């Protein structure tokens, strides 16, 4: 496909004209640079604000003003059941049954609550296998859960590392490691997409192998929800959680999501309970005995945070209109165009811009992670100064995520022009 890409403004505009999702760009607010929209490639960190967010928030503030406590039942979107309005769209987005998902809390909090139910070390089956360099919050969560059970993370937490000279993991190596850990393995906990390398993991096969050795498989989908075409139910994942402020455009600190596979819903699993997880038919009897909802809602602890949910509601509605399959189809092209553009710039200046994200589209989402040998941090600063939003992750990666909902082929082309100008400065300095 990349052989057909052209690095001209005309070509990029033509691609945008043919893009069935192009109108969505207009539904977002872009930071401005020099009087025009910045090139925003950090939707993997904080998605842009949907224009509809302000009115959605105002609706709740107005209903609060008008109804006070009665807003729980009289608001346009009654607060008592607000989270239920998010269920159907969430289920479609992650490939789940409605009863398997709930929107609640924050991501790391959800990870902890799910680990309480699904990490239950017993006998020699105590280990958790995770990907290389997981997001630090996940490492802290896993290690603290292991300690909570009186175990030592040095023994119980196993982190995969790539082969010497490679940046990402081979699926076969992951499967082999699971087989090798065998009956010492309690849980596989992977990101859907690794935040650093941008590698997407084969959740179906990982889950299958985990189950084969008698372990469970859970996923942190922070970088996968709204990015990949997920099928959590069909893949038989045991549980998953994600945040809504990255690809899901629901604002800083936005409310998070959780998935529990249907086969666990009726089981009497240990959990940390709260009143919002109690069967809603009898919740207000305020009885002392906890009787959980027989759905993922049974993991809720507190009542729904309506203000962040108001933003999440309109953001999910955009995904429903766009459709994750169409988004994914555009995303594969857009990211492939960016990859070709980065290579084109590298070749033009004879510098090494190494894309460490897999080239195989099945093993990545939107994001490309680039090692700019000898130019890293400086190149990042120069791009930033010219209105290109990308980010820098220690020790030495520049991450760029063109998001199919609001980024364009022209964004990618312009990014390439600016990248080329910045590289030229560095080459000049080194000469």
Ligand X SMILES: *Cc1c(COP(=O)(O)O)cnc(C)c1O
CB 186 within 8 A of CB 126: yes
Tell whether residue 223 is a contact of ligand X (CB under 6 A): yes
Tell whether residue 344 is a contact of ligand X (CB under 6 A): no
- φ, ψ of residue 367 in degrees (nearest 5): -75, 140
**Nearest to ligand X of 191, 416 (CB atom):** 191
Omega cis (within 30) before 118: no
Residue 369 CA, chain-centre distance (Å), reads: 15
Tell whether residue 106 is a contact of ligand X (CB under 6 A): yes
Neighbouring C-beta atoms of residue 164, cutoff 10 Å: 5
Tell whether residue 135 is a contact of ligand X (CB under 6 A): yes
Size of the site for ligand X (CB under 6 A): 12
x-or-dash string of contact with ligand X, 236-255, rule CB under 6 A: -------x------------
State the alpha helices, DSSP H only, in 46-152.
53-67, 71-74, 87-94, 107-118, 136-148
- φ, ψ of residue 333 in degrees (nearest 5): -70, -45
Strand partners, 240: 219, 259
Smallest Cα–Cα separation from 362: which of 213, 168, 181? 168
Pick the stretch among 100-108, 296-304, 341-349, 359-367 that binds ligand X (CB under 6 A).
100-108
Pick the stretch among 68-76, 116-124, 132-140, 170-178 that binds ligand X (CB under 6 A).
132-140
Pick the stretch among 68-76, 106-114, 232-240, 346-354 that binds ligand X (CB under 6 A).
106-114
**Nearest to ligand X of 198, 346 (CB atom):** 198
What distance in Å separates the CA atoms of residue 168 and residue 186, rounded to the nearest whole number?
Answer: 24
Query: Applying CB under 6 A, which of residues 138, 209, 238, 339 lies at the interface with ligand X?
Result: 138
Tell whether residue 303 is a contact of ligand X (CB under 6 A): no
Tell whether residue 137 is a contact of ligand X (CB under 6 A): yes
Tell whether residue 191 is a contact of ligand X (CB under 6 A): yes
Give min distance, CB of 341 to ligand X, in A: 25
Give min distance, CB of 222 to ligand X, in A: 3
Tell whether residue 195 is a contact of ligand X (CB under 6 A): yes
User: H or E stretch including 212?
Assistant: helix 203-212
- Cβ partners under 8 Å of residue 351, min gap 6: 372, 373, 374, 375, 423, 426, 427
Give min distance, CB of 61 to ligand X, in A: 24
Footprint of ligand X (CB under 6 A) = 106-108, 135, 137-138, 191, 195, 220, 222-223, 243
């Amino acid at each position: 496909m990349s052989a057909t890409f052209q690095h001209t403004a005309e070509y990029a505009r033509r691609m945008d004209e043919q893009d069935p999702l192009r109108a969505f760009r207009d539904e977002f607010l872009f930071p401005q640079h020099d009087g025009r929209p910045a090139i925003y490639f950090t939707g993997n960190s904080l998605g842009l604000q949907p224009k509809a967010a302000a009115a959605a928030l105002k609706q709740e503030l107005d209903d609060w003003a008008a109804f006070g406590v009665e807003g729980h039942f009289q608001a346009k979107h009654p607060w008592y059941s607000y989270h239920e309005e998010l269920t159907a769209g969430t289920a479609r987005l992650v490939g789940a049954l409605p009863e398997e998902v709930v929107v609640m809390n924050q991501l790391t909090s959800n990870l902890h609550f799910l680990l309480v139910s699904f990490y239950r070390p017993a006998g020699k089956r105590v280990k958790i296998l995770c990907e290389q360099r997981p997001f630090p919050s996940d490492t802290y969560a896993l290690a603290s859960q292991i300690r909570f059970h009186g175990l030592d993370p040095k023994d119980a937490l196993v982190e995969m590392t790539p082969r010497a000279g490679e940046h990402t993991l081979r699926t076969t190596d992951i499967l082999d490691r699971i087989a090798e850990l065998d009956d010492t393995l309690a849980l596989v906990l992977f990101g859907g997409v690794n935040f650093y390398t941008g590698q997407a993991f084969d959740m179906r096969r990982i889950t299958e192998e985990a189950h084969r050795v008698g372990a469970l498989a859970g996923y942190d989908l922070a970088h996968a929800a709204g990015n990949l075409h997920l099928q959590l139910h069909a893949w038989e994942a045991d549980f998953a959680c994600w945040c809504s402020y990255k690809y899901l455009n629901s604002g800083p600190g936005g409310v998070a999501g959780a998935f529990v596979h249907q086969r666990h819903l009726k089981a009497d699993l240990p959990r940390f309970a709260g009143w919002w997880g109690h069967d809603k038919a009898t919740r207000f009897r305020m009885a002392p005995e906890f009787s959980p909802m027989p759905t993922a809602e049974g993991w809720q602890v507190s009542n729904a945070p309506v203000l962040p949910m108001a933003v999440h509601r309109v953001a999910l509605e955009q995904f429903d209109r766009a459709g994750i399959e169409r988004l994914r189809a555009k995303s594969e092209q857009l990211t492939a165009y960016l990859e070709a553009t980065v290579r084109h710039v590298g070749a033009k200046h004879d510098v090494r811009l190494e894309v460490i994200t897999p080239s195989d589209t099945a093993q990545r989402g939107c994001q490309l992670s680039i090692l700019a040998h000898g130019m890293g941090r400086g190149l990042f600063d120069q791009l930033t100064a010219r209105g290109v939003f990308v980010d820098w992750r220690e020790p030495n990666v520049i991450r760029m995520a063109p998001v199919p909902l609001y980024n364009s082929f022209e964004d990618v082309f312009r990014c390439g022009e600016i990248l080329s100008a910045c590289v030229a400065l560095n080459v000049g300095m080194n000469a």
